[in-house]
A = this chain, B = another copy of it.
Amino acid sequence: MNDMSRLERTVGTKNIKMECRDCQVYYGDTHAIKDVNVDIEDKTVTAFIGPSGCGKSTFLRCLNRMNDTISVARVEGQFKLDGEDIYDRRVDPVQLRAKVGMVFQKPNPFPKSIYDNVAYGPRIHGLARNKAELDDIVEQALRRGALWNEVKDRLDAPGTGLSGGQQQRLCIARAVATEPEVLLMDEPCSALDPIATAQVEELIDELRQSYSVVIVTHSMQQAARVSQKTAFFHLGNLVEFGETGQIFTNPVDPRTESYITGRIG
């Protein structure tokens, strides 16, 4: 699999899907993201790595304007999706978020049944014409989220009654079900066991065929396995950004080097 993804890396078109220039984020007085410039390519998996609290989630949330919901957060800079400024006044964040989906760091299933959790996105976006189609979408999404076998018998049970890892997979399935063009995943495998992790990684690889995926991870191995591009954040700065292979084998910045050669988790 590792080899395979290496191979495919060169195949992806190099279209730039999202372009971020001089990005700054402030939480009140704290300057959480400083001067970050990143290009996210289409049909590519981009990994964000960096120590905890360095601003990965914050930056990720900028990409689909989820920071709008935090009253103290202030975002500056240019963020473009397909060349269009997503912070433009004319842009509807709702439409943006339909295109740029997100899986959150803390699993947050709705207090609804498992089925309704997954069907929520397709319903609001009108992706299914009828119940049968919706059932199909839900099943596909749960399969892709590697959860189908565990929950197929209790689709009506509340999503909140699942184990931590199951909840996380449910949230992945929920995000996948809306078929976003860009999928932002904040530590999607943190609560997953190796087997489930492998399934999610397979999913990511599959998604890359048509979409672009951004993934925050603490596992260097995971970044190396699934991503083609890697961005290393440190204290709110983007220290290094480039081909994953290059970053892991030949980092330019000493901070990157010391981070990835530190003890490996």
Chain A positions near chain B (C-beta within 8 angstroms):
1, 27, 49-53, 55, 57-58, 72, 105-107, 150, 161-166, 169, 186-187, 189-198, 218-222, 259, 262-265
Contact = CB atoms under 8 A, between A and B. Distances in A.
Given A51-B193, A58-B163, A194-B220, 19 more contacts: A1-B263, A27-B161, A52-B192, A53-B163, A53-B165, A57-B164, A72-B161, A105-B164, A106-B106, A164-B186, A187-B190, A187-B191, A191-B218, A192-B265, A194-B263, A195-B259, A195-B262, A195-B263, A197-B263
11 contacts: A49-B193, A52-B165, A53-B162, A53-B166, A72-B161, A164-B187, A165-B218, A187-B191, A193-B265, A194-B264, A222-B265
Nearest to A194: B265
B189 A265 contact: yes
A218 B192 contact: yes
A36 to B, nearest CB: 16
A85 to B, nearest CB: 27
A121 B54 CA distance: 28
Given A57-B164, A106-B164, A164-B106, A52 B169 contact: yes
Contacts of A52: 163-166, 169, 191-193, 196
Contacts of A263: 1, 194-195, 197-198
Contacts of A165: 52-53, 218
Contacts of A191: 52, 105, 187, 190, 218
Contacts of A164: 52, 57, 105-106, 186-187
A49 B161 CA distance: 21
Given A164-B187, A191-B190, A265 B219 contact: yes
B265 A197 contact: yes
Contact of A218 (B105, B187, B194): B194
A205 to B, nearest CB: 13
Contacts of A190: 187, 190-191
Contacts of A55: 163
B218 A193 contact: yes
A50 B196 CA distance: 11
B193 A50 contact: yes
A67 to B, nearest CB: 13
